[in-house]
Amino acid sequence: MWDWHYAWSILPGLIASLGTAFSATFWGFIIACLGGLVLAGASRSRITAVRLASRGFVQFVRNTPLLVQLFFLYYSLPMVTGIAPSAFLTGIVGLGLHFSTYMSEVYRAGIDAVPKGQWEAAKALNFNGRQTWITVVLPQAIPPMIPVMGNYLIIIFKETPVLSAITLVETLLTAKNMTSASFRFFEPYTLVGILFLLICLAMSLLLRVVEIRYNRFTTGGKKESRKPAERRTNDKSANPVANREVYPG
C-alpha cells in the first residue's frame, strides 16, 4: 500500500510545485485586498447606480462557486473579449475577484466597528474628511482587521487546488500527473494532504503570533455583549471584525 521509496522520490517534486501555489496565493490575495477596497468604497458611494452595482456584484460572487467563476473567466471570457490570459493569470484574477467580495465585508465590518463617538469627536475638533479617516478612523479600524485578513490568506492558499481545473499546474495537478505516470495513487495524494496540513498549521501558528502582537496594542477587548440573539456575534473573541467572518476558515 505505501511505498516509502516512491514517496521520498516524489516529495521534492511536490514541494517544488508549492511554489506555484504560494505565488498564486500571494497574487490572489493582493488582488483580493485591492479589489475589496474598491468594492468597499463603491458600496458607500453616493451614486446609487455604483452602490447597487457593487453590492450586487458582491452578493452574486459570494453566492456562486469559485470553480464555476474560474470556468467562466477561462473559457467564456476569451470568446467574448478575444483576450486569452494564461491559466495563472486567470487563476489569480479569479481568486482575487472571488475573495475581494469577502474582503470588502471585512473592511466594512472594520470601519463599522469604530464607535460612532469617534467620528463625532473628530467632527467636534473640526477635522476634515481626509484627516478623520487617516488620523482617527483607519488607525482604529485596521488593527482588528489584520488577523481576519491573515485568515483569508490561509483560506486562499487552501483554494489553490481548484485552479487545477483550469489547467494551472499547482500541487494537486502535479500529484495527478504523477499518478498518471506511475499508476500509484496513494502516496501522491496522501503527501499532498499532509503538505497542505503542515503548511496551514504553520500559517495558523504564525497568524496567532501576529494576533497576540496586535492584542498588546489594543485596549484589552470589549466586554462580552449580553444581547440575546445578536446577529453574527458568535465568537468569544473581542475582535468584532472576526465575529463577522462568513467564510469557513
User: Residue 122 or 164: which CB sits closer to other proteins?
Assistant: 164
Residue 173 beta carbon to other proteins: minimum distance, rounded to whole angstroms: 10
User: Residue 8 or 185: which CB sits closer to other proteins?
Assistant: 185
Residue 121 beta carbon to other proteins: minimum distance, rounded to whole angstroms: 28
Side chain identity, residue 58: V
Residue reference for cell 517544488 = 16
Residue 69 beta carbon to other proteins: minimum distance, rounded to whole angstroms: 7
Per-residue H/E/C for 143-166: HHHHHHHHHHHHHHHHHHHHHHHH
User: Residue 92 or 244: which CB sits closer to other proteins?
Assistant: 244
List the end-to-end C-alpha distance of the chain, in Å, as a whole number.
32
User: Residue 90 or 122: which CB sits closer to other proteins?
Assistant: 90
CB contact at 8 A, 151 and 205: no
Q: Is 125 helix (H, G, I), strand (E, B) or coil?
A: coil
For the CA atoms of 130, 133, 135, 141, the dihedral, rounded to the nearest 10 degrees, stands at: -170
Q: What does the binding site for other proteins look like in residue numbers (CB under 8 A)?
A: 1, 60, 63-69, 71-72, 75-76, 79-80, 158-162, 164-165, 172, 176, 179, 185-186, 188-190, 192-193, 196-197, 200-201, 204, 224, 226, 228-236, 246-249
User: Residue 103 or 137: which CB sits closer to other proteins?
Assistant: 103
Residues in the chain: 249
Q: What is the rounded distance in angstroms from the CA atom of residue 118 to the CA atom of residue 182?
A: 63
User: Residue 112 or 235: which CB sits closer to other proteins?
Assistant: 235
Helices 171-182, 186-217: inter-axial angle, 10-degree rounding: 170
Residue 115 beta carbon to other proteins: minimum distance, rounded to whole angstroms: 21
Kindly tell me the burial class for residue 226, based on how many C-beta atoms sit within 10 Å of its own C-beta (0-12, 13-18, 19 or more): exposed
Residue 106 beta carbon to other proteins: minimum distance, rounded to whole angstroms: 14
Retrieve residue 102's grid coordinates.
Answer: 469577502
Residue 138 beta carbon to other proteins: minimum distance, rounded to whole angstroms: 27
